[in-house]
Amino acid sequence: MTSDLLVIGGGVVGLIAARELARAGARVTLVDAAQNAGSTTNAGSLHVQMQSRFIRLYPEHARNAERALPCYRQAAECWDRLEAGLGPIHLVRKGGLMLAESAGQMAFLEEKSRREEAKGLDVALLDRAELDRVAPWIGSQIVGAELCRDEGSLNPLLANRLLTKACADLGVISIIDRIDELTVTSDHVSARGLHGRYRAGEAVVAAAWGSGALVRAFGVDIPTAPEPLHMNITEACEQRIDHLVQHAERSLTLKQFGTGQIVIGGGWPADDHGTDAVPGVRADSLVGNVALAARLAPAIGTLRILRTWAGMNTTADGSSIIGRLPGAERIIMAVPGDAGYTLAPLVAQMAACIVLDRDPPADPAPFSPARFAA
């Protein structure tokens, strides 16, 4: 199959990139393996402030994530514009709260907020009295919090569905296949899949944790890796939680969809069954995750869990990977850094602008894949 542009990876980044390119008049083929895509299992958090979980688990990459903080804020604003063009996706941007249960945790938030404010984020520290006014549902042990007014959440099931429809309406050809080899010549890119071969003038690689393996043969060792994580969703409730909720020391995200349901996640581990099988739900993650949520927000403690599932997150070096591949310039990388669903529209639009030779919405130079070249 021949087209102007090939997009490899049909998650949220690939869908938005394909939409942008098709809107510019290109003939686009989107090829997706339909296997352990993080976008289809995402919990819908729009992260802007640095996540305490990431700082704790990947301290060697925390500075990379910190340098990219302005991009997170810009990406959250991109979601506002996407909803205006796509339709309702239950987007709420009333801010995010990172809760503290001790003086030590508040000191951590104070230092973190100074660094974030220096990067242009709209953050503030709240004491218990201020918290009671904006979040009366919190547990009595909470002593304070950091508020990041840029954060929010959306319903990824709605967003994915509307993006898929938008691509189809624009004539994007979508194919389920797993690409296992790329070759580049002076005038085209060829991709070999399990079920077919695809040829295009250029290719955008938006295959998340599978991206690194796809381009390793070109001498660029991009350390994308799958990270199996656990999530839950409750029945609907009357209690209104308008903020994205996190914890200063424990792994947690908590937010409420427009349906009234509470989505609970935050990086609890799932069983790794390899990339060819769906990750397995762990009982200790299920119990620990919802117990922590109920302790921080007692008002939701009696809700029933309707569904629990596991999916693949993608880790690299804490920073996005965007730009033409050294030695294979017809391949454009489009892999978000930490909190990939948040960054997706900005990363996809930057990659599309590189293909179309337009000015990107942010400078891609700091995210060039050249940093991984041998």
pLDDT over 70 (residue 166): yes
Q: How far apart are the first and last CA of the chain?
A: 32
Task: Tell me the percentage of the chain whose pLDDT exceeds 70.
Answer: 100
**pLDDT at residue 1 above 90?**
no
Q: Which of 240, 288, 281 lies closest to 264 in space, CA to CA?
A: 288
pLDDT (mean) for 242-246:
96
β-pair type (28-32, 2-8): parallel
Buried b (16+ CB within 10 A) or exposed e, 69-92: bebbbbbbebbeebbeebeebbbb
Neighbours of 275 (CB within 10 A): 16
E strand intervals along 160-224: 173-176, 179-184, 189-193, 197-205
Check whether 6 has a pLDDT greater than 80: yes
Please give the Cα distance from 344 to 14 (Å, whole number).
9
Average pLDDT over residues 282-286: 97
- Kindly report the backbone phi and psi dihedral angles of residue 16, in degrees, each rounded to the nearest multiple of 5, phi listed first: -70, -40
Which residue ranges form the domains of the chain, and what is each CATH number? Answer: 2-40+157-224+317-372 (3.50.50.60), 58-152+225-315 (3.30.9.10)
Mean pLDDT estimate for the chain: 95
In this predicted structure, what is the pLDDT of residue 207? 97
Token pair belonging to 323: 């730009």
Average pLDDT over residues 170-195: 97
How far apart, in whole angstroms, are the C-alpha atoms of residue 359 and residue 267? 35
pLDDT band at 253 (very low <50, low <70, confident <90, very high): very high
What element of type H or E holds 142?
Answer: none
Buried b (16+ CB within 10 A) or exposed e, 161-191: ebbbebbeebebbbeebbbeebebeeeebbb
Q: Rounded distance, CA 187 to CA 330, Å?
A: 8
Q: Is 121 helix (H, G, I), strand (E, B) or coil?
A: coil
| Predicted pLDDT of residue 59 | 86
pLDDT recorded at residue 164: 98
> What is the predicted pLDDT for the residue at 374?
67
Report the percent of the chain where pLDDT is more than 90: 92
Question: What number is the average pLDDT over the span 272-279?
Answer: 93
Instruction: Report the C-alpha gap between 358 and 310 in whole angstroms.
Output: 38
Q: Is the pLDDT of residue 352 over 90?
A: yes
- pLDDT class of 137 with cuts at 50, 70, 90: very high
Q: What does the pLDDT read at residue 62? A: 85
Geometric angle at alpha carbon 128, from 122 and 133, rounded to 5°: 75
Bridge-based pairing state of the strands 189-193 and 197-205: antiparallel
pLDDT of residue 61: 86
DSSP string, 250-300: S--EEEE-TTSEEEEEEEEE-B---TTSPPBP-HHHHHHHHHHHHHH-GGG
User: Cα–Cα distance between 35 and 78 in angstroms, integer?
Assistant: 27
Go through 102-140 and write b for each residue having 16 or more CB atoms within 10 A of its CB, e for each that does not. eeebbebbeebbebbeebebebebbeeeebeeebeebee
Query: Is the separation of the CB atoms in 287 and 330 below 8 Å?
Result: no
